């Protein structure tokens, strides 16, 4: 064949560049989605082999977990020797577990209940100092295990979003037995976020009189982004891409986006007094979060306490005198000892065995 008749096929340079870009984008998207899947398994799937929950059970998480340092032996002994089991079913039919404690006081507060919520990967026992203190004030105390934690069923953790409905279940459990109940909510870390998200519920019973939120984060998206950036030493923008990919996985697996767990939006609907507590050396939740949360709170009677040199949920252990004097004054302001038209106390028969 004559060379002049030979057809030479050449790709247009723009088309070639477009194909390369598309291939790169597809490969990048696949890598990003894989990173999102891994983050979902590590942070939110309690049964995954890569889960932080499994690592904690194996003792591999101990060097990162400072919670045990906040729990003193005396309160833990009291917790383990006086606890009474309680159970409810969640709206999605999970068996949820809690420990109930009678008032540890010669002068129990009439119809006064405190619900104490633990943090991410933790358990009810880490709330022993708080539960004991409220019991000594005269409260009947309930310490639930969040879904997927301790004895409560559930595979996935939702940073407070589904947990808020579980909290509503515990509140309604109390009210079913004592319609005159006055309820205090106290949450640490993810427990604090759970409390704040519940405060935004239009069906929150009026029996909930006040809330204490210690080391609470602003949102699931923001907290995961901060954690990924910190653990992997990534720019926050790049960490945000990974969290966005995990959000896609969350939508597919659980049916809702991370944006649902937005404490600022929930606090905008709050109608009860809240005491916000934050340590200045919190290495997990940004110490500046308290300013955003306080500003977003639309309720009356809001207060805040910033404890110098305190780490994550460690304000109580760092400065117990300041911590408890502030908390006690706040609680007594909104749940006074005397109540109008008292009826027969039902605390001792609460929940039964």
Domain of residue 210, CATH code: 3.40.50.1820
Q: What is the C-alpha to C-alpha distance for residues 153 and 88, in angstroms, rounded to an integer?
A: 11
Q: Is residue 166 part of a domain?
A: yes
CA atoms of 38 and 294, how far apart (whole Å): 34
Segments forming the whole domain that contains residue 211: 63-219+261-341
Instruction: With respect to residue 274, please indicate whether it lies within any of the assigned structural domains.
Output: yes
> pLDDT for 35-77, tens place per residue?
999 999 999 999 999 999 988 766 555 554 555 567 888 999 9
Read off the pTM. Answer: 0.87
Indicate whether 330 belongs to any domain: yes
* Beta-ladder partners of 186: 116, 212
User: Looking up tokens 């989605």, which residue turns up?
Assistant: 33
Residue 250 domain flag: no
Structure confidence at residue 37 (pLDDT): 95
Q: How far is CA 289 from CA 110, 205, 244, in A?
A: 35, 27, 21
pLDDT for 83 beyond 80: yes
Tell me, what's the pLDDT at 62?
53
Quote the distance between the C-alpha of residue 35 and its chain's center: 23
Residue 129 falls within a domain, yes or no? yes
Residue 245 lies in a domain: no
Give domain status of residue 25, yes or no: no
β-pairing verdict for 303-307 and 208-214 = unpaired
C-alpha distances in Å from residue 159, one per residue of 166, 197, 222, 280:
12, 10, 11, 22
First-residue to last-residue Cα distance in the chain: 96
pLDDT of 16 above 80? no
Computed over every residue of the chain, the mean pLDDT equals 88
- Of all residues in the chain, the percent with pLDDT exceeding 90 is 78
Q: What total number of domains does the chain contain?
A: 1
Rounded-to-integer distance, Cα 82 and Cα 84, Å: 7
Digit-coded pLDDT (tens) for 18-36: 333 344 444 556 788 899 9
Q: Whole-angstrom Cα distance, residue 87 to residue 74?
A: 26
Q: Say how far apart CA 279 and CA 149 lie, in whole Å.
A: 25
Predicted confidence at residue 346, as pLDDT, reads 44
Q: What is the pLDDT of residues 314-340, one digit of tens each?
A: 999 999 999 999 999 999 999 987 654
What is the mean pLDDT of the segment spanning 266-287?
Answer: 97
pLDDT at site 265: 98
pLDDT exceeds cutoff 80 at 130:
yes
Residue 38 located in a structural domain: no
Lowest mean pLDDT, pick from 29-38, 207-216, 304-313: 29-38
């Amino acid at each position: 064949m004559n060379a002049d008749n030979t057809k030479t096929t050449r790709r247009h340079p723009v088309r070639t560049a477009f194909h390369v870009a598309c291939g790169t984008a597809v490969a990048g998207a696949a890598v990003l989605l894989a990173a999102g899947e891994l983050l979902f398994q590590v942070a939110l799937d309690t049964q995954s082999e890569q889960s932080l929950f499994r690592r904690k059970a194996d003792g591999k998480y101990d060097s990162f977990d400072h919670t045990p340092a906040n729990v003193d032996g005396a309160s833990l002994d009291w917790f383990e020797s006086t606890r009474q089991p309680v159970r409810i079913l969640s709206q999605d039919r999970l068996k949820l577990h809690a420990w109930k404690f009678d008032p540890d006081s010669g002068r129990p507060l009439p119809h006064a209940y405190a619900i104490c919520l633990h943090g991410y990967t933790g358990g009810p026992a880490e709330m022993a100092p708080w539960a004991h203190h409220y019991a000594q004030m005269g409260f009947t105390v309930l310490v639930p295990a969040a879904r997927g934690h301790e004895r409560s069923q559930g595979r996935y953790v939702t940073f407070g979003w589904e947990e808020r409905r579980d909290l509503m279940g515990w509140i309604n459990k109390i009210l079913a037995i004592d319609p005159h109940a006055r309820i205090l909510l106290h949450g640490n870390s993810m427990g604090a976020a759970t409390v704040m998200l519940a405060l935004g519920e239009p069906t929150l019973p009026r029996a909930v009189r006040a809330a204490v939120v210690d080391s609470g984060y602003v949102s699931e998206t923001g907290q995961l982004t901060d954690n990924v950036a910190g653990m992997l030493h990534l720019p926050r923008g790049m960490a945000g891409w990974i969290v966005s990919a995990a959000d896609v996985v969350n939508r597919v697996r659980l049916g809702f986006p991370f944006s649902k767990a937005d404490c600022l939006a929930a606090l905008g609907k709050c109608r009860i007094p809240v005491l916000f507590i934050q340590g200045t050396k919190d290495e997990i939740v940004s110490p500046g979060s308290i300013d955003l949360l306080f500003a977003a709170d639309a309720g009356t009677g809001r207060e805040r306490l910033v404890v110098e040199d305190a780490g994550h949920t460690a304000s109580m252990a760092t400065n117990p005198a300041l911590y408890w004097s502030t908390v006690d004054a706040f609680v007594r302001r909104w749940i006074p000892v005397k109540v109008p038209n008292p009826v027969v106390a039902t605390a001792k028969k609460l929940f039964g065995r």
